[in-house]
């Protein structure tokens, strides 16, 4: 089982960026934590981060026939992008959306996610640990679908 973990804009600034919301751990810490969790499950995880919407669309398209599923934190593009959910639907891979913070309890403009509709589930507000839950959800779906 091979999954692609995508982090969107400004998530390369984890550890520096608004630590009261996103914590003090870095993107490297996050990727290490996910890789360890995946290794224990026999899942191969590959990581991608970009600040550019088109680069994220390209990464999703390139995942076609190379990966079994996607975990994605689209960051601010969650609330603005139609191209990202379109790309997820285009490749037909199961995807789980994850957010470090609870987007339902923040500014009103964060309450809408265009990406949710293209995903099998969403995990929000569980900090870095939410990515582990997202991996578990994806793995369970993949095991069930054979
Ligand atoms: C985020 C929430 C988004 O609203 C925000 O733009 C981000 C990060 C989160 O992980 O909580 O950049 O996706």
CATH number at residue 51: 3.40.50.9100
Residue 103 has pLDDT above 80, yes or no: yes
Cβ–ligand 1 contact at 10 (below 6 Å) = yes
Active site includes 114? no
Report pLDDT digits (tens) over 22-79: 999 999 999 999 999 999 999 999 999 999 999 999 999 999 999 999 999 999 999 9
Atom of ligand 1 nearest to the CA of 73: 13
pLDDT of residue 146 exceeding 90: no
Q: Domains in the chain: how many in total?
A: 1
Question: Which domain covers residue 42, as residue numbers?
Answer: 2-145
Task: Determine which one of 22, 67, 77, 131 is catalytic.
Answer: 22
Comparing CA positions, the residue from 143, 1, 11, 141 lying closest to residue 72 is: 11
Residues 100 and 24 sit within 8 Å (Cβ to Cβ) = no
Residue 87 pLDDT greater than 80, yes or no = yes
Q: Alpha helices of the chain — where are they, by DSSP H?
A: 19-22, 27-41, 53-62, 83-91, 129-144
What mean pLDDT is reported for the chain? Answer: 98
Give whole-number Cα distances, 146 to 9, 44, 68, 71, 142, in Å: 33, 17, 11, 19, 6
């Amino acid at each position: 089982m091979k999954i692609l973990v995508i982090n969107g804009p400004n998530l390369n600034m984890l550890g520096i960026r608004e630590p009261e919301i996103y914590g003090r751990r870095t993107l490297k810490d996050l990727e290490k934590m996910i890789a360890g969790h995946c290794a224990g499950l026999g899942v191969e995880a590959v990581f991608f981060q970009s600040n550019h919407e088109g680069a994220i669309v390209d990464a999703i398209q390139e995942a076609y026939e190379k990966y079994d599923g996607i975990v994605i934190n689209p960051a601010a593009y969650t609330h603005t992008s139609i191209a990202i959910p379109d790309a997820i639907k285009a490749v037909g891979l199961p995807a789980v959306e994850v957010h470090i913070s609870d987007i339902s309890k923040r500014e009103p403009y964060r309450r809408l996610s265009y990406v949710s509709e293209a995903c099998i589930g969403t995990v929000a507000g569980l900090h870095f640990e939410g990515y582990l839950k997202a991996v578990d959800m994806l793995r369970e779906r993949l095991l069930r679908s054979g």
